[in-house]
Amino acid sequence: NDSKNSIDLGASWIWPESNPNMDQLAKKLDVEKISEGDGAFRFKDGSQTIALKLAEKLCSNENVKIMLQCSVYSILDSLNKKASNNKKVEIMFSNKSSPEGVERNESMEADAVFIACPPRLTIEKISFQPPFEEGMINAMKSCRTWMAQQGKFIAVYGSAFWRKKRQRKLYWERVSVDGPLDMIFDNNDRIIWGF
């Protein structure tokens, strides 16, 4: 986690009153929040800080293994169902993290699977056995992915020159209704971003 080179593209806002569980997790993981006004906060160094600190905490358990650069393409929920009461789930994935840079198909067993991916992308990218019921599939396909339709822009400067003439940070500043950017934000000491 190189905080000097990380750029927060949003989805890092939290309203503690509306998101008490995430607020509690941030406190437990010692993730600093930055006030954005109107009761909104951002996670210092971006929302990836939550994931990185959670991974660090999980990896302190010898039974936990976190694999990066992998794409799950199949989840089979019937592994060993008849053989024992110890039901396992088989996960099949492509691993792109080999030192040779060669993508390999691999599999692993797990007691449970937690998917942290938008529902529409989950149903498009992962095959499930047994398959979900049609109603669930339709609901997942029609579920809107937050900010998926937005283009984002980042400008990185040597310093926050725009603050010399302003009394406050740029926050939810409307710049255009018809142009390519609708809103801009002051990300940190040298970055402006918008969508």
Successive 10-residue mean pLDDT values, the chain, 195 residues = 58 84 94 84 83 87 81 81 69 85 87 86 93 94 80 83 69 68 72 78
Q: Is 118 exposed, middle or buried (0-12, 13-18, 19+ CB in 10 A)?
A: middle
In one letter, which amino acid is 124?
A: E
In one letter, which amino acid is 23?
A: D
- The 3-state DSSP class for residue 62 equals coil
Q: How far apart, in whole angstroms, are the C-alpha atoms of residue 160 and residue 49?
A: 23
Whether this model's pTM surpasses 0.75:
no
Q: How far apart, in whole angstroms, are the C-alpha atoms of residue 20 and residue 50?
A: 15
Asked if 137 and 185 count as a contact pair (C-beta separation under 8 A), the reply is no
